[in-house]
Amino acid sequence: MEDFNSIFSLLDLQYGLEIDEDDAIDIGLLAWNKIGNRKYKLYRYRGFVDPITHEVKLPCNCDEDGIEAVTYDFEDW
């Protein structure tokens, strides 16, 4: 997780803004509590697409209800 204090340099560099440290921490914590998926696990799995059904068989420890994102490698040109 990024340090909450990194917001000060980002606000200054990207937007030219300066904000009170206490206000920034309060805003950051309020936003963090509203995110909802603070607990996650990231797995790397390399699967292959079935050429007929265009499906990928997922590993046995994968819960379909818990999947939030699936990414793929870019084609090697």
Domain extents for the chain? 6-35
Give Cα separations from 24 to 5, 29, 34 (angstroms).
Answer: 8, 9, 16
pTM: 0.38
Q: Is it the case that residue 45 has pLDDT exceeding 70?
A: yes
Res 64 pLDDT > 70: no
> What integer best gives the mean pLDDT of the chain?
77
Helix H segments across the chain?
A: 6-10, 21-35
